[in-house]
Amino acid sequence: MNTLEILERLIAFPTVSRDPNRALIDWVVALLAEHGIASTLIPDASGHKANLYATIGPVDRPGVMLSGHTDVVPVDGQDWAKPPFELTQADGKVFGRGTADMKGFCAAAIKAAIMASKRDLKTPLHLALSYDEEIGCIGVRSLVDMLAAAPLRPMMCIVGEPTGMQVASGHKGKVALRATCKGEEGHSALAPLAMNALHLAIDFGNAVRAKQAAIAATGHKDHDYDVPYTTLHLGKIAGGESLNIVPNLATVDFEIRNLAEDDPQAIIAELAAEAAKIVSNANHKSAAIEITETFSYPGLLTPQNADVMAFVRALTGSNGSIKVAFGTEGGLFNAKLGIPTVVCGPGSMMQGHKPDEFVSLEQLAACDTMMSNLVRRLEGEI
């Protein structure tokens, strides 16, 4: 099977993060087994989802890991002109949910593993496929734990998120949080005698905005990013049951996307101090604001002189590098395992998460070329 044929099969599995990915993983296991490649699965507690890890070549030395996630975002409420879970080719592109983010790379990586199985590798190729990346890099953490306990771990990693086949050396970290604001119910006709939790939520939201303004004005800058500073984003405020009831509960969902130079925990501590001031100023026994972390993943900042940068640049023929706005599992591989990591894959995130998502055939061909170059390099020692 070629990359396009593998991609067609991968797209046909509707692996939205809320649903199982096991059918896709089992299909990949069977395909690899046809070529003598053994896979290790790391299932979740339900058994309906799993990570896959496979090594092609010698097992007594570290190699190069190709990493991709198998889950995709939902298509609910999106106006697709083409069937989202059926690969459609037109105008030099292939359309379908996950073509860009990131089953196109997964297909090329699987094809590379099959190609590598026919060669006499001196340096191994590792294939890692995860689940639930789209909802906080959840699934890959058990794979990270497995590699942490292994006698050997990969010497370097390529995470194949869409970068237009440019080599990305970094991305911001992320912390998703919720501020739970508590007040006291009352009749709206007597609102001043109650404690409106939405008022606390609004005041806290303003504190988040003020912190963002301060960072934008005087914080660290990295102009390799489209937004060159750490960002704070208010995503959702919820509260209240009826107009004539003073709400006693409101929640504020927000996030921090931080540069490597900024400590998100320090920002959270500052916001907690602001929350305490808001509660104190409310001067009500029921007033409270509690900040909790929903999930997080570390950023990635690979030095320009790292071996992995030169190695992947040589594979792609590109001398430059970029940084990407979105997060990846690469930060976990680097921070938790010390694996030097870059992000490089076909397509653009401008097409990801949208109706009629696509990747160009030209980008897939460029990824195949990178994979062919990689397998040739692995026939020698790195």
Q: Are residues 133 and 32 in the same domain?
A: yes
269 close to 176: Cβ distance less than 8 angstroms? no
Residue 381 has pLDDT above 90, yes or no: no
Q: Are residues 182 and 239 in the same domain?
A: yes
Q: Are residues 112 and 177 in the same domain?
A: no
Q: How many domains does the chain have?
A: 2
Domain extent, residue 214, equals 173-297
Question: Cβ-count burial of 126 within 10 angstroms (0-12 exposed, 13-18 middle, 19+ buried)?
Answer: buried
> What's this model's pTM, rounded to 2 decimal places?
0.93
Q: CATH no. for residue 113? A: 3.40.630.10
Residue pLDDT, tens place only, 179-204: 999 999 999 999 999 999 999 999 99
Q: Are residues 232 and 350 in the same domain?
A: no
372 HSE (CA, 13 A, CB side): 9
pLDDT confidence of residue 50: 99
pLDDT confidence of residue 364: 99
pLDDT confidence of residue 382: 84
Q: CATH no. for residue 234? A: 3.30.70.360
pLDDT confidence of residue 76: 96
Q: Which of 272, 297, 322 is the last residue of a domain?
A: 297
Q: Which of 235, 262, 297 is the last residue of a domain?
A: 297
Q: Which of 240, 271, 297 is the last residue of a domain?
A: 297
Q: Are residues 238 and 286 in the same domain?
A: yes
Whole-number mean pLDDT of the chain?
98
Phi-psi region of 164 (alpha: psi -120 to 50; beta: other; left: phi over 0): left
Residue pLDDT, tens place only, 125-141: 999 999 999 999 999 99
Q: Are residues 102 and 198 in the same domain?
A: no
Residue pLDDT, tens place only, 154-165: 999 999 999 999
pLDDT-derived band at 256 (thresholds 50, 70, 90) equals very high
Q: Are residues 130 and 194 in the same domain?
A: no
Residue pLDDT, tens place only, 300-336: 999 999 999 999 999 999 889 999 989 999 999 999 9
Q: Are residues 223 and 269 in the same domain?
A: yes
Q: Are residues 160 and 51 in the same domain?
A: yes
Q: Are residues 344 and 207 in the same domain?
A: no
Residue 14 has pLDDT above 90, yes or no: yes
Distances (CA, A) of 341 to 178, 210, 301, 347: 30, 34, 9, 19
Going through 228-321 in order, the beta strands assigned E by DSSP cover 231-239, 245-246, 249-258, 288-297, 300-301
Q: Are residues 358 and 369 in the same domain?
A: yes
Q: Are residues 77 and 95 in the same domain?
A: yes
> Helix, strand, coil shares of the chain as percentages rounded to 5?
35, 25, 40
